[in-house]
Amino acid sequence: MQERGEQPDQRSILEKIRSASNQGDLGVTIIDLENEFSRLTETGDAQTMRDIVDAYFTLELHSFPSYVPEDAIRTLVLDNFDYVAAIADARKVGKDDASTMSLARDNPYPHAGKTQQFFRDAVNYHPKPPAAPQN
């Protein structure tokens, strides 16, 4: 929260996440991430997308016990950010926060929106669709 008379933090999302390990707080909101993911998609900046994922992965790596496999942590990071990208896409049609989250949650596969597809391609993340329900 910004104190009266304090200047807003002008650092990039990437810089905030990189410095978060020293503060114990990510320093960005989901809306900040949504906006950044949308901007990166529009500019085609796949490298910054990868850098953000790597910075967040490093932060998460240090917050888990050493017995948790790195692959599991990376999958968690990719799943989390894939959902953020889905929210960024859903925000374009959602009427409010609740409908936006519902849209993102209810259709996680197979139809990725523009931002989600850009994220997946940028970080080489291509999750398998969930298995069909068994009768």
Taking only the tens place, the pLDDT of each residue in 91-112 is: 776 566 665 556 656 665 457 7
Predicted confidence (pLDDT) per residue in 16-61, tens digit: 998 886 555 778 888 899 999 999 999 999 999 999 999 999 989 8
In a domain, 16, yes or no: no
- DSSP assignment of 32-61, as one string? HHHHHHHHHHHHT-HHHHHHHHHHHHHHHH
What domain count does the chain have?
Answer: 1
Give a yes or no: residue 3 inside a domain: no
In single-letter form, the type of residue at position 90 comes to A
Is residue 25 one of the residues assigned to a domain? Answer: no
**What's the whole-model pTM score?**
0.79
Domain that holds residue 95: 30-123
Which pLDDT does position 30 carry in this prediction?
Answer: 86
Q: Is residue 43 part of a domain?
A: yes
Residue 44 backbone class (left: φ over 0; alpha: ψ -120 to 50; beta: rest): left
The verdict on residue 15 lying in a domain is no
Amino acid at 57: F
Say if 39 falls within a structural domain: yes
